[in-house]
DNA sequence: CTGATAAGCCGAACCGGTTAAGTAACGAAG
DNA sequence: CTTCGTTACTTAACCGGTTCGGCTTATCAG
């Protein structure tokens, strides 16, 4: 139980408490000699700043907040989040910041959490994920004056600092890939339409479908494995030769559905996943996917939040464009299919 | 920016700051009338306690800590963690406690984090996962006097409060299941041997194998999908008719390996997974698994930590025994196999 | 009517830092 | 030699709560 305070350090060094504070915080106002002495004594006594005291006077909590408005169920299903959190952490650790993580039921509860954190001064800034179209969190964060970095397209961020990946380009890459393989009938299993990124993909999908002269159908889901499986079963009735998924969890679930119907991947159906987690590499066949460095993404986002706190201008920052990684699940459609479109289900 | 303090409330109520504090904290020392008035005014002004100030004077941080000594990669692969964290959160939210989450590289860094948290008084208690055999964290936590609840078997907890699930019983259930189906040659793809729970399963596996007169082989891995796939490939050389996995991620990876070798599940090989996440239900065939309410587990652990802070005796608490859920991946061995043990690979 | 007891409240110290304002010493410029 | 500006500190207020000793006042037994 080390109860070492700066008062103790001051006593031992024969200087005032204030001087010790200046020395420890690397601020001007003390001579190099004194600073060195203070640092040495602090190290000897294994002094650690009391975060509460520092937070109280300096109005800094050295904590970032992250609220996830998802069910624990979804969170454990989706490999995405833990990787993202891990990336965030890696940067926080460098600054010895902590992450306050809160899992809530819905957007309302998320807003309440922001209000509470702002009032309590529990966090210095927040990372906002799952951006919506016309997101209600943006005006609230503005009003609270809570520093934030949004994870999503600048078109959704309404001027707040954001980090994004180019979903439009990725969608184009996916459709050009399947089109170049000779596919004409495409199905898309999408996430919830209220999610901004899904909305952007919706636009990109429609435009690319027209440009490439494809026929297409889109089914929106809640991103869960069960919904992905159900949607796959539905769209298969339309005999698409390729299915593009908005996440990899649904793609894996879809693969099982296809196999259970005795269809072959990729001979009968080509599958393309989004968010290239390990899942895509442990199935048989392995899944072609739009690959995404989720860990790096999280790291970049927290770096940006530090920048914002340091007073940087809120410019949108493109982190990357998901890269298409072709694997076993995509190939030319089987030649038998185009001539005789026999019902399979 | 609400800057409402108890001083303001005191002014408006015409009482002293101290009285307000007593009233708000539901402590004796104020009359019912005054208390009611204070509470009303506090509600009107939307007063929220400043956590830093409270922490500084009351030496409580209203935060629990959780350190995960895993790579971001593993964390995003393993569905387990996010579900566990979600469960922890659900209980913390009820007490308006926060969770400080830290992802570190190894046990050494984890110990450093505990020391730092203890010195800074950043957390009121910690939840310790991935218990080891002779875990070095236990003496450190004892010395630091940091309240903790360990997630793991009492045999590993050395007297500290713990919450556990009965892995021995679960392992028995798994082996009795495959034995009753008529399997004789079993392989086990286990986690890292230094993990306490893996060690316990090792013991249970060996004993059950002898009791049921099975032949068996065990391969330890790092719990990753890649290692699970590699180990599966290896053990298949010994022609087991059933494989039992220590987590579901490796089981899914193993399934793909089996399928890639043109073996059928369950006809040629029966598979049993541990930790029944969604993964087990989205494969084809679906996986028989030892099912585990990970979310509830997390919730129970944090409830115990609250109990410990309230002064409860550190009794081990059995949360549950994983239940075997038979699905498509387990069945009687194909009759052709026992008579003519033809090499398959 | 007196003295003891307790409830209700006040004032102030305290937690452990940060930081604005003030001061003493010193060197350079006028 | 005075004046001004730095540098290197000290002092003390402050952040927003909690908590403890002590002061009033009401209650009640004797």
Q: In sequence order, what DSSP letters do the residues of B44-103 get, joined into one string?
A: HTT----HHHHHHHH----EEEEEEES-HHHHHH-HHHHHHHHHHHHHHHHTT-EEEEEE
Does B285 have pLDDT greater than 60?
A: yes
Establish if A75 touches chain B: CB-CB under 8 angstroms.
yes
Q: Are B152 and B131 in contact (CB under 8 A)?
A: yes
Q: Are B242 and B178 in contact (CB under 8 A)?
A: yes
Interchain pair A120, B260: CB under 8 A? no
Give mean pLDDT, residues B6-31. Answer: 92
Q: Is the peptide bond prior to A266 cis by the omega test (within 30 degrees of 0)?
A: yes
pLDDT band at B122 (very low <50, low <70, confident <90, very high): confident
- Name every chain A residue with its beta carbon within 8 A of the beta carbon of B100: 63, 98-100
| CB proximity list for A264: less than 8 A, separation 6 or greater | none
Mutate to test the interface with B, among A98, A112, A298 (most CBs of B within 10 A): A98
Check residue A338 and give its pLDDT. Answer: 44
Whether the CB of B50 is less than 7 Å away from nucleic strand C comes out as: no
Whether the CB of B310 is less than 7 Å away from nucleic strand C comes out as: no
Percentage of residues in chain B with pLDDT exceeding 70?
97
Closest Cα of chain A to B2: distance in Å? 6
Helices (H) and strands (E) in chain B, counts: 15, 12
| CB proximity list for B310: less than 8 A, separation 6 or greater | none
Does B149 have pLDDT greater than 90?
A: yes
Mutate to test the interface with B, among A86, A254, A261 (most CBs of B within 10 A): A86
Query: Which residue has 């936590």 as its token pair?
Result: B141
Establish if B277 touches chain A: CB-CB under 8 angstroms.
yes
Whether the CB of B31 is less than 7 Å away from nucleic strand D comes out as: no
Establish if B99 touches chain A: CB-CB under 8 angstroms.
yes
Q: Are B271 and B265 in contact (CB under 8 A)?
A: yes
Q: Are A214 and A184 in contact (CB under 8 A)?
A: yes
Does residue B344 or residue A106 have the better pLDDT?
A106
Q: Are B160 and B142 in contact (CB under 8 A)?
A: yes
Q: A110-120 burial string, b = 16+ CB within 10 Å, else e?
A: bbebbbbbbbb
Establish if B145 touches chain A: CB-CB under 8 angstroms.
yes
Task: Give the distance from CA A123 to its chain's centroid.
Answer: 19
In whole angstroms, give the CA distance from residue A272 to residue B256. 18
Whether the CB of B61 is less than 7 Å away from nucleic strand D comes out as: no
In whole angstroms, give the CA distance from residue A51 to residue A99. 14
Check residue A336 and give its pLDDT. Answer: 57
Nearest to B277 among A76, A118, A286 (CB): A76
Q: Which two tokens stand for residue B98?
A: 């926060």
Percentage of residues in chain B with pLDDT exceeding 90?
77
pLDDT band at B157 (very low <50, low <70, confident <90, very high): very high
- Name every chain B residue with its beta carbon within 8 A of the beta carbon of A249: 278, 282
Check residue B73 and give its pLDDT. Answer: 80
Q: Residue A204's closest CA among A160, A155, A268, A252? A: A155
Does residue B271 or residue A78 have the better pLDDT?
B271
What separation in angstroms does the CA of A116 have from each of A109, B96, B105?
10, 10, 32
Nucleic acid strand C: bases within 7 A of protein CB:
7-21
User: In the beta sheet, which residues pair with residue A274?
Assistant: A290
Does B227 have pLDDT greater than 50?
A: yes
Q: pTM of the entire structure?
A: 0.89
User: In the beta sheet, which residues pair with residue A103?
Assistant: A68
**Least-confidence region, from A56-60, B127-131, B177-181, B337-341:** B337-341
B144: nearest CA partner in chain A = A1
What separation in angstroms does the CA of B323 have from each of B87, B110, B172, B177?
19, 32, 11, 11
Say how many CB pairs under 8 Å bridge A and B: 194
**Concatenated DSSP letters for B138-179?**
HHHHHHHT--EEEES-HHHHTTS-EEEE-HHHHHHHHHHHHH
Handedness of CA B42, B43, B46, B51 (dihedral sign): positive
Does B343 have pLDDT greater than 80?
A: no
Output the distance from B14 CA to C6 C1' rounded to whole Å: 23
Render pLDDT for A31-67 as a digit per residue (tens, 0 to 9).
Answer: 999 999 999 999 999 898 998 999 888 878 889 999 9
Q: Are B269 and B186 in contact (CB under 8 A)?
A: no
Measured between its terminal Cα atoms, the distance across chain A in Å is 69
Task: Compute chain A's Rg from CA coordinates.
Answer: 26
Interchain pair A75, B85: CB under 8 A? yes
Interchain pair B52, A55: CB under 8 A? yes
Give mean pLDDT, residues B179-192. Answer: 97
pLDDT band at B336 (very low <50, low <70, confident <90, very high): low
Closest Cα of chain A to B96: distance in Å? 10
Nucleic acid strand D: bases within 7 A of protein CB:
7-12, 14-21
Does B340 have pLDDT greater than 70?
A: no
Measured between its terminal Cα atoms, the distance across chain B in Å is 69
Closest Cα of chain A to B270: distance in Å? 17
pLDDT band at B314 (very low <50, low <70, confident <90, very high): confident
Q: Are A97 and A125 in contact (CB under 8 A)?
A: no
Establish if A43 touches chain B: CB-CB under 8 angstroms.
no
B101: nearest CA partner in chain A = A99
Check residue B338 and give its pLDDT. Answer: 44
Establish if B2 touches chain A: CB-CB under 8 angstroms.
yes
Does residue B172 or residue B101 have the better pLDDT?
B172
User: Which of A330-344, B26-40, B194-208 is the most confident on average?
Assistant: B194-208
Give mean pLDDT, residues B55-76. Answer: 88
Establish if B32 touches chain A: CB-CB under 8 angstroms.
no
Q: What is the pLDDT along chain A (345 residues), one digit of tens a residue?
A: 457 899 999 999 999 999 999 999 998 889 999 999 999 999 999 898 998 999 888 878 889 999 999 887 888 888 888 889 999 999 998 888 889 999 898 999 999 999 988 888 889 999 999 999 999 999 999 999 899 999 999 999 999 999 999 999 999 999 999 999 999 999 999 999 999 999 999 999 999 999 999 999 999 999 999 999 999 999 999 999 999 999 999 999 999 999 999 999 999 999 999 999 999 999 999 999 999 899 999 999 999 999 998 888 878 999 999 999 999 999 999 875 444 444 444
A225: nearest CA partner in chain B = B282
Establish if A211 touches chain B: CB-CB under 8 angstroms.
no
> Strands of B98-104's sheet, edge to edge?
A317-320, A162-165, A148-151, A125-128, A63-69, A98-104, B98-104, B63-69, B125-128, B148-151, B162-165, B317-320
């Amino acid at each position: 139980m080390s109860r070492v305070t700066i008062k103790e350090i001051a006593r031992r060094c024969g200087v005032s408490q204030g001087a010790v504070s200046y020395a420890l915080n690397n601020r001007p106002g003390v001579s190099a000699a004194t600073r060195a002495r203070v640092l040495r004594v602090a190290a000897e006594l294994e002094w650690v700043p009391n975060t509460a005291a520092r937070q109280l006077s300096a109005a800094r909590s050295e904590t970032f907040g992250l609220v996830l408005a998802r069910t624990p169920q979804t969170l454990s299903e989706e490999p995405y989040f833990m990787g993202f959190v891990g990336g965030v952490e890696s940067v926080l650790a460098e600054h010895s910041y902590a992450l306050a993580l809160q899992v809530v039921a819905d957007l309302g509860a998320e807003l309440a959490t922001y209000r509470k954190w702002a009032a309590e001064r529990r966090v210095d800034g927040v990372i906002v994920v799952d951006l919506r179209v016309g997101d209600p969190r943006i005006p609230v964060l503005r009003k609270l004056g809570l520093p934030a970095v949004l994870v999503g397209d600048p078109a959704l961020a309404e001027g707040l600092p954001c980090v994004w990946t180019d979903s439009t380009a990725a969608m184009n890459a996916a459709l050009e890939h399947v089109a170049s393989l000779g596919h004409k009938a495409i199905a898309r299993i999408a996430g919830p339409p209220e999610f901004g990124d899904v909305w952007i993909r919706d636009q990109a999908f429609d435009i690319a479908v027209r440009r490439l002269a494809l026929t297409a159908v889109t089914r929106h889901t809640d991103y869960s494995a069960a919904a992905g499986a159900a949607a796959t079963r539905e769209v298969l009735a339309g005999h698409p030769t390729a299915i593009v998924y908005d996440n990899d969890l649904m793609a894996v679930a879809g693969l099982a559905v296809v196999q259970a119907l005795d269809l072959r991947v990729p001979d009968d159906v080509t599958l393309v996943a989004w968010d290239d987690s390990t899942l895509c590499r442990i199935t048989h066949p392995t899944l072609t996917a739009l690959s995404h460095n989720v860990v790096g993404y999280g790291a970049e986002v927290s770096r940006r939040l530090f920048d914002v706190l340091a007073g940087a201008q809120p410019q949108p920052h493109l982190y990357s464009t998901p890269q298409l990684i072709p694997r076993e699940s995509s190939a030319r459609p089987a030649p038998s299919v185009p001539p005789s479109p026999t019902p399979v289900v």
